[in-house]
Amino acid sequence: MQTVIIGSGNVAYHLAKAFVQNGISLAQIFGRNEKELDKISEELNIPKSTTNLVEADLYIICVSDGSIGAVSKLITKRDSLVAHTSGSLPKEILVGEYRKSSFYPLQTFSKTKNLDYKKIPFFIETENEEDQKILTDLASKISDNVMKSTHEKRKYIHLTAVFACNFVNHLFARAKEISDAQEIPFDYFLPLINETVQKINEIDPKSAQTGPAVRNDQRVLELHEQLLKDESLEIYKTMNHSIKKMYQLL
Amino acid sequence: MQTVIIGSGNVAYHLAKAFVQNGISLAQIFGRNEKELDKISEELNIPKSTTNLVEADLYIICVSDGSIGAVSKLITKRDSLVAHTSGSLPKEILVGEYRKSSFYPLQTFSKTKNLDYKKIPFFIETENEEDQKILTDLASKISDNVMKSTHEKRKYIHLTAVFACNFVNHLFARAKEISDAQEIPFDYFLPLINETVQKINEIDPKSAQTGPAVRNDQRVLELHEQLLKDESLEIYKTMNHSIKKMYQLL
């Protein structure tokens, strides 16, 4: 099976790397950003192009949501399977006369950070059972966690991921802003952060909750509000309100 | 040095355990909750009492913020050093004629969860250098990370910890609520969560930010808002607003 990856960002790089590491050869990596394509092509030894998309059996589109539609129009081979990797778009976003699918890896990707691909859940949606098998077999060479999914379910998976990953990271960024302003090294908080996450690998997060809001410690909450302003204060109030609601303290 | 721990909650249990594991014998564990005291006393082989506080050189009070004042009045030995373990209270909350101090371990404690005590930062504040040395020497037997701190700094350390630990855990709880409602196993998200935290052990969280808000992807943001309600919707809006502000997208 001839497979092509389209894109040169974080997802494209890691998918390509995962394929190559697992003995799946890629016919081409195709994209606009020549510099990034060069890097991936050299590191993983994959033919690249910014202009001529090769004929293939499978195209995996790893570009930003807003570009998927336009990029998908470049694929003209009718007898091909095309997948996008977006968490929030239906497979029908793909524009062309080929079989459409979604191939969604649930992970946060940065080029500079190595990943254990085996643990990444893949959610797959296709037009028919045969394509489902093709993509499931392919993903199973990379990961131990391959599942069928609908667009409806994928939307909620993506939404949950925004809370559990994007927002969590932003809390770390705001936390660091607070400690930086007091010249407190953020490294002090890493054992606490690591333990917080270790915990929910073992305990339900609802029963692991600690802190002033769940203790309904009004004195500390008011003290903290005086130390904060702007967005951090808004986050502080919103999160505490939500904690109190969850534990029926309001 | 005769040392007594007062309290029978998570902090009392883990501090007592850390002391015992590092060959520091405790003269007594003292508290109100007989059942919890019994458990700790038996597991760690420490004399216990709910009524008679023994004479000691050092008392470490590990009770909730609201009880520290009242509990501290039980200590009548003038020639003793008394420490509380609160992140947000000054040492002057202690009421009695003895030397006052603060002994603050920056960690989230649950009785059911083992901890690597070596990595826990301890923040110490005392009335004089001699007491500083006593508590620093003691904490150094447990941890590799022992520091001097003022009440002012400790308040900000505690506040940062609320963002980086308590709020992060609450995001996990709200995330699980969303995935549970769709019958999506929360386990799917653990590799993503673990990677999110792994990342900030290596990269500054501000440069690790991903997701629709930092991409200014209005389509996804609006789609997600339609899937949410009540507190989760409030969190969604507040966090995205704060992300956009941080990256100057507003």
What residue in A sits closest to B167 (Cα-Cα)? A239
10 Å Cβ neighbour count for A2? 15
* Chain A residues whose beta carbon lies within 8 Å of the beta carbon of residue B192: 106-108, 161, 164-165
What pLDDT, on a 0 to 100 scale, did the predictor assign at position A114? 86
A229 min Cα distance to partner chain B (Å): 12
Longest Cα separation, chain A? 67
ipTM, two decimals, is 0.92
Contact list, B18 vs chain A (CB under 8 Å): none
Give B119 to chain A, closest Cα distance, Å: 6
Label residue A224 by pLDDT band (50, 70, 90).
Answer: very high
**Of A115, A234, A242, which is closest to B195 when you measure between CB atoms?**
A115
Q: Kindly write down the DSSP assignment for every residue of chain A, as one continuous string.
A: --EEEE--SHHHHHHHHHHHHTT---SEEE-S-HHHHHHHHHHHT--EESS-PPP-SEEEE-S-HHHHHHHHTT---SS-EEEE--SSS-GGG--SSSEEEEEEE-S---TTS---GGG--EEEE-SSHHHHHHHHHHHHHH-S-EEE--HHHHHHHHHHHIIIIIIHHHHHHHHHHHHHHTT--GGGGHHHHHHHHHHHTTS-HHHH--STTTTT-HHHHHHHHHH--HHHHHHHHHHHHHHHHHTT--
pLDDT at residue A73 greater than cutoff 90: yes
Of the candidates A110, A192, A242, the beta carbon closest to that of B107 is on A192
Q: What is the pLDDT along chain B (250 residues), one digit of tens a residue?
A: 999 999 999 999 999 999 999 999 999 999 999 999 999 999 999 999 999 999 999 999 999 999 999 999 999 999 999 999 999 999 999 999 999 999 999 998 888 888 999 999 999 999 999 999 999 999 999 999 999 999 999 999 999 999 999 999 999 999 999 999 999 999 999 999 999 999 999 999 999 999 999 999 999 999 999 999 999 999 999 999 999 999 999 9
List, in order of start, the domains of chain A with CATH numbers. Answer: 3-149 (3.40.50.720), 154-246 (1.10.1040.20)
- Look over chain A and give the mean of its residue pLDDT values, rounded to a whole number: 96
